[in-house]
Every structure is written in C-alpha cells, then in structure tokens.
C-alpha cells in the first residue's frame, strides 16, 4: 500500500483498470476534499453536494473500468469536469434551462487576488477579506461564481477552467471579467473595502 501512495495518478488509474481496488482508494483519498469543496461551493447544499460527489466517483469508476479514460496527466481536472457536468445537469433540470446573464456594469477590475502570510496582522486582514469576498461571491450568477472559485480557490489556469466547464478560454476570461466587475460593484454597494495583498 505504501508503494501505491507514491504512484502518479495515471499509474493508479492503470492499476485500478486492471483490478487493484486499493489504487482507486488512494485516488479518492487524494481528491475527495478538494472535489467535494468545489461541488458544495457551487450547489450550496450538503445533501445535493454529497449526491453529486458520489455520482462523480461512480462515473469515474465506470469510465475507468470500461477502458474509456484517456486524460493523460489530468486526472483531477477530469474529475472536476465530471462534477461540473453533473452540477450543470442538475441546474438544467431544476431551472428548465433558465440561463443567467452577465451584468454589464462599467467598473474597473480588481488587480490580482493573492494572500500574503508575512505577519499575523496581514493574515487577519486577508482572512477577513477572504470572508468578505466569499459573501460577495454568493451574490454572483452561477457561471461567474464558478470561474472565480476555480481561479482563486482552486488555483486553476483559464485553460483548465475552459476545459472543465466546456467553454472557450475567451468565455472563461469574459466570465471572470464580469465577475470582478460585479464583485467591485457589490463591494461598493455594501461599503466593503477589499484590501488584498
């Protein structure tokens, strides 16, 4: 088992495809927290997040066992894409394909959101800012909230975000642009000062 834990995702997938169940257990352990957090952040319901989380891994298991997994070196992004598609399917069923439009407010964009850990005081300020940003993010349309979460909380590139969400890089960038404009507007409306280091 110790030997399995040092293997790459791709090696573990190959072993699981050949019948080594412990290999998938290790993959599950590696990604369960990050994947569940992503799903929960989007759906904001524990029971639903748990259902989608489980369905994501069931789909992954079936795909691997059928020999259809081909995402070399991108296992976490592949899992996230499965979860993303399941979330989209859920919202389509719930909302009968009701789409959310982007707000067209003309406001400057945020600079870069990075968090410093130099001093205790800076950490406290940044923790409060993070809480404020999360509160404001809850007010964004789903597609904008998702791209902000994936970019700043999962540290994914716009290329990875585009692949996971099934849109072009330009669409991902556009959603981020609108999200940042909306966050700035919401911060001003709520009189929240976002001091990001």
pLDDT of residue 29: 93
pLDDT of residue 89: 85
Ranges of CATH 1.10.1740.10 domains, the chain:
2-95
Q: Answer for the pair 9, 30: CB distance below 8 angstroms, yes or no.
A: yes
Ranges of CATH 1.10.10.10 domains, the chain:
120-189
pLDDT of residue 2: 58
pLDDT of residue 7: 93
Class of domain 120-189: mainly alpha
pLDDT of residue 136: 85
Does 2-95 carry CATH code 1.10.1740.10?
yes
pLDDT of residue 26: 93
pLDDT of residue 28: 92
Q: Distance between CA 69 and CA 185 in Å, rounded?
A: 43
132-144 burial, b for 16+ CB within 10 Å, e for fewer? bbeebbeebbebb
**Binned average pLDDT, 10 residues per bin, the chain of 197 residues:** 84 91 92 92 90 91 88 86 89 61 41 42 63 82 89 84 90 88 84 59
Interhelix angle 9-17/21-43, rounded to 10 degrees, is 120
pLDDT of residue 123: 61
């Amino acid at each position: 088992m110790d030997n399995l834990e040092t293997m790459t995702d791709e090696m573990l997938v190959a072993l699981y495809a050949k019948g080594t169940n412990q290999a998938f257990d290790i993959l599950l352990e590696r990604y369960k927290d990050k994947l569940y957090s992503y799903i929960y952040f989007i759906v904001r319901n524990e029971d639903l997040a748990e259902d989608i989380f489980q369905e994501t891994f069931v789909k992954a298991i079936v795909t691997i066992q059928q020999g259809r997994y081909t995402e070399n070196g991108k296992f976490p992004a592949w899992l996230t894409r499965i979860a993303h598609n399941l979330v989209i399917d859920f919202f389509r069923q719930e909302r009968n394909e009701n789409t959310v439009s982007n707000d067209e407010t003309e406001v400057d964009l945020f600079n870069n959101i990075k968090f410093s850990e130099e001093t205790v005081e800076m950490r406290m300020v940044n923790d409060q800012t993070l809480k404020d940003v999360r509160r404001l993010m809850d007010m964004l349309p789903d597609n904008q909230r998702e791209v902000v979460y994936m970019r700043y909380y999962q540290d994914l590139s716009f290329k990875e975000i585009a692949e996971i969400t099934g849109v072009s890089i330009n669409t991902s960038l556009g959603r981020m642009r609108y999200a940042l404009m909306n966050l700035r507007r919401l911060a001003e409306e709520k009189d929240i000062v976002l001091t990001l280091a």
